[in-house]
């Protein structure tokens, strides 16, 4: 199990069946739901504000989650995938969202359900995205609308795969 560190009397709280890689770092004001996974070299630093995660959230290798002191917590819904080396900072990610590899989501941004933020995209501070769309670029702009009947199911499927992958590590096989 990774580094799960108490800070200022607060220890991260994890739901049932969570996977924490050996070198993942979780500090302070973190509340995670069930079946979340925290992959290699990810850092969740709940030192200056809350990090609140729903069920089946996967934080992939090298990703960083943080908030802004006394201003912006980070709130993440259910079935959310945060790709390798992404930065999620003081924002809101609703259910069924994918944040691509190396993407950045800044303070007070809102990413609604069914939305994909493409690899390397930068969602600016206070930017509010539309649901069921793909955003790409710097700054992030809408590049494609998705079918609202299928995009949440596709994104739930990605999150479900990470629950399966974490089971491989938990079983040691």
What is the chain's length? 173
Give the model's pLDDT for residue 173: 64
pLDDT per position as a tens digit, 131-155:
999 999 999 999 999 999 999 899 9
Query: In CATH, what is the architecture of 3-171?
Result: 3 Solenoid (2.160)
* pTM recorded for the entire structure: 0.96
d(CA 49, CA 67): 5
Q: What are phi and psi of 119, to 5 degrees?
A: -55, 135
Contacts of 154 (CB under 8 A, 6+ apart): none
Q: What single-letter DSSP state applies at residue 169?
A: H
Parallel/antiparallel/unpaired status of strands 43-53 and 25-32: parallel
Positive or negative torsion for Cα 162, 17, 82, 53: positive
Q: Is the pLDDT of residue 165 over 80?
A: yes
Give the model's pLDDT for residue 170: 80
Give the residue from 37, 49, 52 showing the smallest Cα distance to 83.
Answer: 37
Domain limits, the chain: 3-171
d(CA 113, CA 92): 11
């Amino acid at each position: 199990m990774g580094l799960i560190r108490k800070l200022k009397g607060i220890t991260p709280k994890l739901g049932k069946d969570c996977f924490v890689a050996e070198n993942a770092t979780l500090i302070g004001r973190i509340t995670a739901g069930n079946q979340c996974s925290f992959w290699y070299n990810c850092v969740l630093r709940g030192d200056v504000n809350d990090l609140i995660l729903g069920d089946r959230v996967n934080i992939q290798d090298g990703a960083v989650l943080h908030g802004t002191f006394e201003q912006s917590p980070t709130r993440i819904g259910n079935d959310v995938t945060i790709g390798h080396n992404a930065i999620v900072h003081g924002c809101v990610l609703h259910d069924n969202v994918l944040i691509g590899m190396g993407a950045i989501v800044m303070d007070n941004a809102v990413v609604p359900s069914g939305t994909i933020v493409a690899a390397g995209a930068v969602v600016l501070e206070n930017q509010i995205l539309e649901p069921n769309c793909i955003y790409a670029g710097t700054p992030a702009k809408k590049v494609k609308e998705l079918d609202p009947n299928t995009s949440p199911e596709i994104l739930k499927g990605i999150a479900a795969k990470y629950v399966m992958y974490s089971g491989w590590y938990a079983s040691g096989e």
